[in-house]
C-alpha cells in the first residue's frame, strides 16, 4: 500500500514522523541515573547486550557509587562484578582508570566537553557521543551497527564507514532531532530491520526504502531482498485470524522450551510464536518462520525484549533461573513450567493451556494422559536410561524420563537426578534393560554394541530421543515406544 506523497513534507520529515509513530518508546536502553553511571554502563556495553549490562550494573553501583569509590577499587573485585559482560579484565581496568582520571582531572565529575570526555580511559568518540547525548542533551548521532545498516538500506547514505554515515545523517536531519533519531533508528534496526531477516513486509518505511522495494541490492546482505507486501504495512494477525484456539491469551509468545514450541504449533498457535531458541526445531518449517532468540541456557535477552512478547515460556530444568530473573527485570511476563512426572505433565498441560488461551486443548490432552496413568503397574525389568557418554550419565527414577519408564511397566534404576556414573557404579547397576536415546547424546549402533558387550545378559535398545525427552508434545509417543519394549 503506497502512501500518498505530500509536496509540503520532505522525505526526511516523512521518515521521522513514521519512526516517531512506530517507536514512541525509543530511548537509551542502558539503565542509569546520572552521567557517571551512563559512562560506566556504556563502557560495559561493548560486545555485550544492553539487557546483560542492566543486570550487572545495580550490584556494581551499589559497591562503587561514584568515581572516588571506583578509583580505589581492587581490580579483582571489579572483575568479579563485571565478569558476565565479557572482556571483564579490560573492562575492569578501564573502569578503575576512569574513576582515577575523573578524580584527578575533573573533581570526580563527568565532563560535558566532547574532547575531555573522549580522552577518558575506555571512552572513545562513539561512547563520548552516547554520553553527551543522553546525559547532557548535546545533539549527537553516534552510528552503531544498527544505524549503519538501516541508513544504508534506506538510501540515507552510501558511505562505507560509520563516521561517514554519521556525517551524511547529520547533513540530512535537523540538529535538534539527532538524539531522538539515534534511538529511533536503533529501535527500528532491532525490531524490524533485522540484519539477516529484515521484516520488510510490515515495515512502516517500506515505500521510502530502496533496498526494501528491491530497487537496489541490500548493502548489508549483498542481495536483492524478496518482499511479500500482500499484507498492508503495520499488518499483524488479529485473534480472529488465528483459528479457534486463539480467541484469548497472549498474542506474542516466545518459547524457550523446544517441546513446548512444538506443542504450541500442535495447538494451532504457530502464528502467535514470535521467538524460539535454536533448539526449537520441530516442526522443521518453524526454523524459517520464527526468529531465534539464542539457546535454552543462554537466551538473547535483548532480542527477546525487542520482540515485545506478551508471554515467555520457560521450564525449570531446561532454562536457568537467571533467565526468569532477567525477564522480571525487563518487565516481561513469563511462565515457568516444571515437568518431572507424568502426573505433573498433565497438570502443566492444563496450566499452559490456560496461560496461552488454549484451555480446551490443554484439558483434552491432560485428561487423555491421566486416563493412561490409571491402574496398577507390574514391576518390570531393571532399566537403565543413559543420557550421556564420556562421562556416562543416566536419568534417575525421580526424573521425567524415569517416570516415563516406570509408567510403561519397566523399573527405572540408578541414582536420582542426572548423575555421572563412574565405571564401577555402572557395572554394579547390572541392568536387565539399557535404553540409549538418540538425544541429548547422539547414541548410535556402535554405542549399543559396546553396551551389549558390557552387559551380555541385558537387552539394549537404541530409541528415539525426542519421543523420550520431549515432554508434553511427545509424552504419549514416549509411552507408546516404551510400552512396546515390555
Ligand atoms: S523496508 Fe526492509 S530493508 Fe527497508 S527499512 Fe524496512 S525493514 Fe529495513
- Take residue 362 and report the three cell numbers written for it: 490443554
Q: Which of the four pLDDT bands, split at 50, 70 and 90, describes residue 8?
A: low
User: Which residues have a catalytic role annotated?
Assistant: 126, 144
Confidence at residue 169, expressed as pLDDT on a 0 to 100 scale: 96
Of ligand 1's listed atoms, the one at least distance from the Cα of 212 is: 1
Q: 123 CA to middle of ligand 1, Å?
A: 32
Phi, psi angle pair for 111, to nearest 5°: -75, 155
Q: Which residues contact 348 (CB under 8 A, 6 or more apart)?
A: 337, 338, 339, 472
**170 annotated to bind ligand:** no
Closest CA to 112 of 140, 141, 136, 139: 136
- Using CB atoms within 10 Å of the CB of residue 445, give its burial: 0 to 12 exposed, 13 to 18 middle, 19+ buried: exposed
**For the chain, how long is the longest CA-to-CA vector?**
87
pLDDT at 3 over 70: no
Decide whether 243-370 matches 382-483 in CATH topology: yes
CATH of 382-483, one of 3.40.50.1980, 3.40.50.1000, 3.40.1380.10, 3.90.180.10: 3.40.50.1980
Closest CA to 255 of 236, 280, 237: 280
Q: What's the rounded mean pLDDT across residues 313-333?
A: 92
pLDDT at 231 over 60: no
Instruction: State the chain's mean pLDDT as an integer.
Output: 89
Pocket of ligand 1 (CB under 6 A): 150, 153-154, 192-193, 198-200, 203, 205-206, 209, 211-212
**193 annotated to bind ligand:** yes
User: What's the pLDDT tens digit per position in 362-400?
Assistant: 999 999 999 989 876 677 899 999 999 999 999 999 999
Phi, psi angle pair for 314, to nearest 5°: -125, 170
Confidence at residue 58, expressed as pLDDT on a 0 to 100 scale: 95
**48 annotated to bind ligand:** no
Q: 193 CA to middle of ligand 1, Å?
A: 5
Q: Using most ligand atoms within 8 A of CB, pick from 3, 187, 188, 206 the residue to mutate for ligand 1.
A: 206
Q: 90 CA to middle of ligand 1, Å?
A: 36
Cα(322)–Cα(298) distance, rounded to whole angstroms?
Answer: 9
Q: Which of the four pLDDT bands, split at 50, 70 and 90, describes residue 26?
A: confident
Confidence at residue 245, expressed as pLDDT on a 0 to 100 scale: 37
- % of residues, the chain, pLDDT over 70: 93
Residue ranges of the alpha helices (H) in 192-254? none
Phi, psi angle pair for 318, to nearest 5°: -80, -40
User: What's the pLDDT tens digit per position in 100-137?
Assistant: 999 999 999 999 888 899 999 989 888 888 898 898 88
- Answer with the residue of higher pLDDT: 456 or 290: 456
Q: Which CATH superfamily is domain 35-136 in?
A: Hypothetical protein; domain 2 (1.10.340.30)
* 382-388 and 311-315 beta bridge pairing: unpaired
3-class DSSP state of 103: helix
Cα(215)–Cα(193) distance, rounded to whole angstroms?
Answer: 17
- Answer with the residue of higher pLDDT: 486 or 114: 114
Confidence at residue 1, expressed as pLDDT on a 0 to 100 scale: 36
pLDDT at 195 over 90: no
Flag the least confident range among 68-82, 122-136, 411-425: 122-136
User: What's the pLDDT tens digit per position in 179-192?
Assistant: 999 999 999 998 88
Ranked by mean pLDDT, which of 47-51, 140-144, 478-482 comes out on top? 478-482
Q: Which of the four pLDDT bands, split at 50, 70 and 90, describes residue 2?
A: very low
Look up the pTM and report it.
Answer: 0.53
Q: Going by CA atoms, what residue is nearest to atom 3 of ligand 1?
A: 212
Q: 232 CA to middle of ligand 1, Å?
A: 14
Cα(351)–Cα(275) distance, rounded to whole angstroms?
Answer: 21
pLDDT at 229 over 80: no
Q: Which residues contact 251 (CB under 8 A, 6 or more apart)?
A: 236, 237, 239, 272, 310
Q: Which of the four pLDDT bands, split at 50, 70 and 90, describes residue 473?
A: very high
Long-range contacts of 92-97 (CB under 8 A, 24+ apart): 94/43, 94/121, 94/122, 95/40, 95/43, 95/44, 95/64, 95/70, 95/122, 96/70, 96/71, 97/121, 97/122
DSSP for 449-477 reads HHHHHH-TTSEEEEE-HHHHH-TTTSHHH
Domain boundaries in the chain?
35-136, 243-370, 382-483
CATH 3.40.50.1980 assigned to 243-370: yes
Q: Going by CA atoms, what residue is nearest to atom 4 of ligand 1?
A: 212
Confidence at residue 21, expressed as pLDDT on a 0 to 100 scale: 82
pLDDT at 358 over 80: yes
Confidence at residue 230, expressed as pLDDT on a 0 to 100 scale: 52
Confidence at residue 354, expressed as pLDDT on a 0 to 100 scale: 93
Confidence at residue 228, expressed as pLDDT on a 0 to 100 scale: 61
pLDDT at 242 over 70: no
Cα(422)–Cα(445) distance, rounded to whole angstroms?
Answer: 22
Q: Which of the four pLDDT bands, split at 50, 70 and 90, describes residue 51?
A: confident
Q: Which residues contact 161 (CB under 8 A, 6 or more apart)?
A: none
User: What's the pLDDT tens digit per position in 164-184?
Assistant: 999 999 999 999 899 999 999
Amino acid at each position: 500500500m503506497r502512501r500518498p506523497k505530500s509536496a509540503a513534507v520532505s522525505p526526511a520529515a516523512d521518515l521521522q514522523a513514521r519512526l516517531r509513530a512506530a517507536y514512541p518508546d525509543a530511548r537509551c536502553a542502558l539503565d542509569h541515573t546520572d552521567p557517571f553511571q551512563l559512562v560506566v554502563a556504556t563502557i560495559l556495553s561493548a560486545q555485550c547486550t544492553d539487557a546483560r549490562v542492566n543486570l550487572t550494573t545495580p550490584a556494581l553501583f551499589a559497591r562503587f557509587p561514584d568515581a572516588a569509590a571506583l578509583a580505589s577499587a581492587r581490580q579483582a573485585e571489579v572483575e568479579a562484578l563485571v565478569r558476565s559482560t565479557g572482556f571483564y579484565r579490560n573492562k575492569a581496568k578501564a573502569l578503575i582508570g576512569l574513576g582515577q582520571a575523573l578524580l584527578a582531572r575533573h573533581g570526580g565529575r563527568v565532563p560535558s566537553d566532547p574532547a575531555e570526555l573522549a580522552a577518558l580511559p575506555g571512552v572513545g568518540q562513539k561512547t563520548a557521543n552516547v554520553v553527551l547525548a543522553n546525559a547532557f542533551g548535546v545533539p549527537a548521532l553516534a552510528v552503531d551497527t544498527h544505524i549503519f545498516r538501516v541508513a544504508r538500506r534506506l538510501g540515507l547514505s552510501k558511505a562505507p564507514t560509520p563516521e561517514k554515515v554519521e556525517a551524511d545523517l547529520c547533513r540530512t536531519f535537523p540538529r535538534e532531532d539527532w538524539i531522538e533519531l539515534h534511538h529511533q533508528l536503533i529501535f527500528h534496526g532491532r525490531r524490524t530491520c533485522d540484519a539477516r531477516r529484515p521484516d520488510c513486509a510490515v515495515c512502516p518505511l517500506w515505500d521510502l526504502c530502496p533496498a526494501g522495494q528491491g530497487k537496489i541490492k541490500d548493502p548489508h546482505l549483498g542481495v536483492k531482498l524478496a518482499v511479500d507486501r500482500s499484507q498492508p504495512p503495520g499488518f499483524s494477525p488479529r485473534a480472529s485470524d488465528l483459528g479457534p484456539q486463539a480467541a484469548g491469551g497472549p498474542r506474542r509468545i516466545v518459547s524457550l522450551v523446544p517441546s513446548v514450541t512444538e506443542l504450541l504449533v500442535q495447538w494451532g498457535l504457530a502464528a502467535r510464536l514470535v521467538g524460539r531458541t535454536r533448539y526449537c526445531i520441530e516442526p522443521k518449517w518453524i526454523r524459517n518462520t520464527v526468529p531465534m532468540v539464542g539457546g535454552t541456557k543462554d537466551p538473547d535477552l535483548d532480542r527477546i525484549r525487542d520482540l515485545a512478547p506478551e508471554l515467555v515460556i520457560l521450564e525449570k530444568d531446561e532454562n536457568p533461573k537467571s533467565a526468569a530473573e532477567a525477564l522480571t527485570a525487563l518487565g516481561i511476563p513469563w511462565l515457568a513450567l516444571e515437568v518431572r512426572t507424568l502426573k505433573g505433565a498433565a497438570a502443566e498441560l492444563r496450566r499452559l493451556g490456560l496461560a496461552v488461551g488454549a484451555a480446551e486443548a490443554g484439558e483434552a490432552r491432560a485428561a487423555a494422559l491421566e486416563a493412561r496413568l490409571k491402574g496398577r503397574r507390574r514391576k518390570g525389568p531393571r532399566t537403565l536410561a543413559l543420557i550421556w557418554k564420556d562421562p556416562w550419565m543416566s536419568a534417575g527414577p525421580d526424573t521425567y524420563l524415569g517416570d516415563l519408564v516406570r509408567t510403561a511397566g519397566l523399573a527405572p534404576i540408578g541414582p536420582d537426578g542426572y548423575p555421572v556414573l563412574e565405571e564401577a557404579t555402572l557395572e554394579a547397576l547390572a541392568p536387565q534393560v539399557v535404553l540409549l536415546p538418540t538425544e541429548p547424546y547422539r547414541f548410535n549402533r556402535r554405542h549399543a554394541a559396546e553396551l551389549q558387550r558390557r552387559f551380555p545378559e541385558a537387552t539394549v535398545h537404541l530409541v528415539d530421543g525426542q519421543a523420550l525427552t520431549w515432554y508434553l508434545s511427545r509424552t504419549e509417543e514416549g509411552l507408546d515406544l516404551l510400552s512396546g519394549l515390555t
